[in-house]
Amino acid sequence: DSGVTQTPKHLITATGQRVTLRCSPRSGDLSVYWYQQSLDQGLQFLIQYYNGEERAKGNILERFSAQQFPDLHSELNLSSLELGDSALYFCASSPYAGVDTQYFGPGTRLTVL
């Protein structure tokens, strides 16, 4: 158990819909990361927040947005969903803003029908 929690575990929705994925980091960690894992793209970095501020950004679609709240939990919002957004979405956390060991949650599996 990494100490990172993600909800829900599974999410099934339809094209065009909007969903919110939630992540609680390990106690004391200030950075939260979001990754997307799919068969064709592999494991892709989406975005990092550090202590409430955006710290680094990957190839995150404009339809996707994230935020980190004062209690340090984070949400990833996915809107206007397409079939290709079906993937496993991981949250990870670390203590600092820079490169360090990231502790991964169990993931949220999103299926878009």
Partner 1 sequence: AQSVTQPDIHITVSEGASLELRCNYSYGATPYLFWYVQSPGQGLQLLLKYFSGDTLVQGIKGFEAEFKRSQSSFNLRKPSVHWSDAAEYFCAVGAGNQGGKLIFGQGTELSVKP
Q: Which of 4, 19, 110, 112 binds partner 1 (CB under 8 A)?
A: 4
Question: From CA 64, how far away is CA 19, in angstroms rounded?
Answer: 10
Q: Is 45 in the site for partner 1 (CB under 8 A)?
A: yes
Beta carbons within 10 angstroms of residue 25's beta carbon: 27
Q: Is 25 in the site for partner 1 (CB under 8 A)?
A: no
Residue owning tokens 């991964």 = 104
Q: Is 106 in the site for partner 1 (CB under 8 A)?
A: yes
DSSP 48: E
Q: Is 69 in the site for partner 1 (CB under 8 A)?
A: no
Residues 72-91 that bind partner 1 (CB under 8 A): 90
**Residues 26 and 103 sit within 8 Å (Cβ to Cβ):** yes
Interface region with partner 1, contact rule CB under 8 A, candidates 16-24, 61-69, 74-82, 94-102:
94-102
Residue 75, phi then psi, degrees to nearest 5: -130, 140
Which residues make up the interface to partner 1 (CB under 8 A)? 2, 4, 31, 33, 35, 42-45, 48, 50, 55-56, 58, 90, 92, 94, 96-107
